[in-house]
């Protein structure tokens, strides 16, 4: 309750604690509304003050709460509905008979019913909720009055506000065309997709009266506010238990146009060239204590104005390993498509080609044979087919949904020194098990990942496990088959990982706690000979000044391991941008 009010006690330096009678009155009203919105319809809140000293310089503010009883819903009635039956509408609601009359849930249900109508073209629908006391004690009768209105189709579509961005970048996200029945879910999705594209900081999709009135027709207006910061230079530093200290220098343009060459040097230096097509160009350099990486990436989200993504780029990678140094340089080309209908509806499919040069040098004299036989330079080429189905509601803090991944990668399709296949699959599921009064979620997550290599793959293409995102409680790549006099890690051809995690709010929306268990194995061939498991706890720290990706700090203890595994109790990840 104290978090709902603005009257605060004195804290030296941080808070004055000055008493404001008007603020206290407003706080009492806030608390009373807080109770009544949660079903305590008779709740009353007032306040009194009591001086602590004779000088009357210090006082206590006491809020007196008379909660009363909590009212629940005895009956739900629906009036004015013709398009949908009463049962269809009631089944759409989360608020059920017998539940407490919680205002936030009722408002959410009103929005849900209006969306149900709006998805069928009834864009002027209004759902008006009211209640009266029932004859039973602590019960109310809820009435929903439906004003359905008329069904509308889309007329002319007008785009407004795109000064630098090409109009096609807006229209392709709308998902509705002239003659279509209006669908508010597609309109809301268009607003979300336009903002999520990074090209616009705001977007509004709305139905408007046409200049020439037509029965059952409304024009559509798509108004956008362009993002002026689509070209970004980012410099920062990160640290993790897996990769040590890493610098990060990024130059990125998320509204790139590869065909918009400057006509003059003045255009180039003033940033008026290579802009407007919604493409992405990214150059990244990561120098670090454990590895160094450089890459250039380009993405065209709509190849030839069709919903097919085109990606290409090049990369250079250098990382010292225990018994050798691994260097890679290559390019990649891929196309991807989000399927909107048919058997694969909702899935993202991708085909990728990756030719690369791999150099293994600084090999220890006593290194394992698997390492010795790939010493020097070699050529690796692969084609990879993958499918992804992702319904999670957030990339950084998911509370519901799932992510399914499946892939098949074949080496040797464009020649090269290796011929093998790699099959992999993964499934992650999130459940919100509780939501507190501050709208903070407690979430249970579970995952499983499996992989199998067919054929003789080089050790740098095999599976390894351990560390953040894999198995906490074990060192990075600490789980692996071993070989040679020094028991070098040489990777496995079979991998199975699973785990579960419970995350919960601890302080405001800044700190979350986690409890977890990770389990799995990496084997030389298909089968399980040694099972590993760990349990642990940790915190996630999200500071707005450092972005939306939380810092991770975990303590994990192996409860089942192989005698040759490398363990690590403390795992962490920190990313700090300079500017």
pLDDT, tens only, 487-521: 999 999 999 999 999 999 998 888 999 999 999 99
Question: What does the pLDDT average to over 526-555?
Answer: 87
Judged against a pLDDT cut of 70, whether residue 54 lies above it is answered with no
Q: Return the residue matching tokens 């608390």.
A: 31
Predicted local confidence at residue 332, as pLDDT: 97
Render pLDDT for 242-254 as a digit per residue (tens, 0 to 9).
888 889 899 999 9
Domain boundaries, the chain: 2-66, 72-147, 153-226, 378-577
**pTM confidence score:** 0.76
Dihedrals phi, psi of 370, to nearest 5 degrees: -60, -30
Calculate the average pLDDT of the chain.
91
Portion of the chain with pLDDT greater than 90, in percent: 65
Q: In the CATH scheme, what is the code of domain 72-147?
A: 3.10.20.310
Judged against a pLDDT cut of 70, whether residue 479 lies above it is answered with yes
Fold match between 153-226 and 378-577? no
Predicted local confidence at residue 14, as pLDDT: 66
Predicted local confidence at residue 436, as pLDDT: 80
By CB atoms closer than 10 A (0-12, 13-18, 19+), residue 270 is exposed
Judged against a pLDDT cut of 60, whether residue 467 lies above it is answered with yes
- Lowest-pLDDT range of 110-124, 261-275, 554-568: 261-275
**How far apart are the C-alpha atoms of 63 and 40, rounded to whole Å?**
17
Predicted local confidence at residue 12, as pLDDT: 74
pLDDT band at residue 576 using 50, 70 and 90 as cut-offs: low
Judged against a pLDDT cut of 90, whether residue 389 lies above it is answered with yes
Helix axes 184-196, 103-118, angle to 10 degrees: 100
Predicted local confidence at residue 264, as pLDDT: 81
Predicted local confidence at residue 279, as pLDDT: 93
pLDDT band at residue 548 using 50, 70 and 90 as cut-offs: low
Judged against a pLDDT cut of 90, whether residue 124 lies above it is answered with yes
By CB atoms closer than 10 A (0-12, 13-18, 19+), residue 163 is exposed
pLDDT band at residue 5 using 50, 70 and 90 as cut-offs: confident
Give, in degrees to the nearest 5, the angle at Cα 301 between 297 and 302.
135
Given the candidates 2.40.110.10, 3.40.50.2000, 2.40.160.50, 3.40.50.12780, the CATH classification of the domain at 378-577 is 2.40.160.50
Judged against a pLDDT cut of 60, whether residue 411 lies above it is answered with yes
Predicted local confidence at residue 353, as pLDDT: 98
Indicate the class that CATH gives domain 153-226.
Answer: alpha beta
Judged against a pLDDT cut of 80, whether residue 366 lies above it is answered with yes
pLDDT band at residue 75 using 50, 70 and 90 as cut-offs: very high
The two three-digit tokens of residue 248, written as one number: 């990060």
**How far apart are the C-alpha atoms of 219 and 204, rounded to whole Å?**
14
Question: What does the pLDDT average to over 50-54?
Answer: 75
Judged against a pLDDT cut of 90, whether residue 472 lies above it is answered with yes
**How far apart are the C-alpha atoms of 160 and 140, rounded to whole Å?**
47
Query: Does 267 or 226 have the greater pLDDT score?
Result: 226
Predicted local confidence at residue 546, as pLDDT: 65
Which of these, 365, 406, 358, lies nearest to 382 by C-alpha position?
358
Q: Return the residue matching tokens 């998805």.
A: 119
Query: Does 24 or 348 have the greater pLDDT score?
Result: 348
Query: Does 555 or 228 have the greater pLDDT score?
Result: 555
Judged against a pLDDT cut of 80, whether residue 545 lies above it is answered with no
| HEC assignment per residue over 554-577 | EEEEEEECCCCCCECCEEEEEEEE
């Amino acid at each position: 309750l104290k978090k709902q009010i603005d009257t605060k006690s004195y804290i030296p330096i941080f808070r004055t604690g000055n008493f404001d009678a008007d603020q206290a009155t407003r706080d009492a009203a806030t608390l009373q509304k807080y109770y009544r919105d949660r079903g305590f319809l008779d709740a009353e809140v007032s306040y009194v003050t009591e001086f602590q000293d004779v000088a009357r310089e210090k006082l206590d503010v006491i809020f007196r709460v008379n909660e009363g009883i909590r009212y629940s819903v005895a009956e739900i009635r629906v009036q004015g509905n013709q398009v949908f039956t009463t049962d269809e509408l009631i089944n759409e609601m989360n608020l059920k008979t017998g539940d407490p009359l919680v205002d936030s849930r009722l408002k959410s249900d009103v929005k849900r019913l209006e969306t149900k109508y709006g998805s069928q073209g009834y864009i002027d629908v209004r759902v008006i909720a009211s209640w009266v006391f029932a004859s039973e004690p602590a019960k109310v009768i809820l009435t929903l009055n439906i004003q359905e209105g008329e069904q509308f189709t889309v007329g002319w579509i007008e785009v407004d506000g795109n000064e630098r961005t090409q109009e096609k970048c807006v229209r392709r996200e709308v998902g509705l065309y002239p003659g279509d029945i209006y669908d508010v879910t597609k309109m809301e999705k268009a607003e979300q997709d336009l903002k999520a594209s990074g090209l616009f900081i705001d977007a509004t999709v709305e139905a408007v009266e046409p200049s020439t009135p037509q029965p059952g027709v409304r024009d559509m207006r798509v108004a956008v506010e362009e993002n002026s910061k689509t070209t970004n230079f980012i410099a920062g530093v990160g640290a993790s238990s897996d990769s040590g200290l890493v610098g990060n220098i990024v130059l990125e343009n998320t509204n790139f146009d590869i065909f918009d060459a400057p006509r003059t040097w003045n255009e180039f230096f003033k940033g008026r060239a290579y802009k407007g097509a919604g493409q992405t160009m990214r150059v990244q350099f990561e120098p670090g204590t454990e590895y160094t990486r450089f890459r250039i990436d380009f993405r065209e989200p709509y190849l030839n104005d069709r919903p097919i993504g085109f990606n290409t780029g090049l990369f250079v990678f250098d990382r010292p390993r225990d018994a050798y140094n691994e260097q890679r340089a290559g390019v990649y080309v891929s196309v991807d498509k989000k399927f909107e209908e048919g058997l694969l509806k909702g899935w993202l499919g991708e085909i990728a080609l990756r030719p690369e040069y791999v150099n293994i040098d600084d090999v220890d004299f006593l290194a394992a044979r698997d390492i010795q036989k790939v010493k020097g330079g070699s050529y690796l080429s692969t084609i990879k087919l993958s499918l992804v189905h992702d319904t999670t509601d957030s990339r950084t803090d998911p509370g519901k949904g799932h992510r399914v991944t499946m892939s098949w990668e074949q080496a040797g399709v464009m020649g090269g020194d290796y011929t093998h296949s790699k099959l992999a699959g993964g499934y992650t599921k999130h459940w919100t098990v509780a939501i507190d009064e501050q709208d903070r979620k407690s979430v249970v997550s579970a995952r499983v990942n499996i992989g199998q290599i067919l054929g003789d793959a080089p050790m740098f293409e095999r599976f390894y496990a351990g560390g953040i995102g894999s198995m906490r409680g074990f060192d990075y790549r600490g789980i692996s088959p071993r070989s040679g006099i020094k028991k070098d890690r040489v990777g496995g051809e079979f991998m199975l990982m699973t785990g579960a995690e419970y995350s919960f709010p601890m302080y405001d929306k800044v700190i979350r706690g986690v409890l977890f268990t990770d389990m799995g194995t990496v084997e030389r061939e298909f089968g399980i000979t040694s099972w590993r498991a760990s349990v642990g706890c940790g915190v996630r720290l999200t500071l707005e000044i450092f972005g939306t990706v939380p810092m991770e700090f975990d303590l994990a203890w192996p409860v089942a391991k192989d005698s040759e595994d490398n363990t690590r109790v403390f795992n962490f990840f920190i990313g700090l941008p300079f500017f």
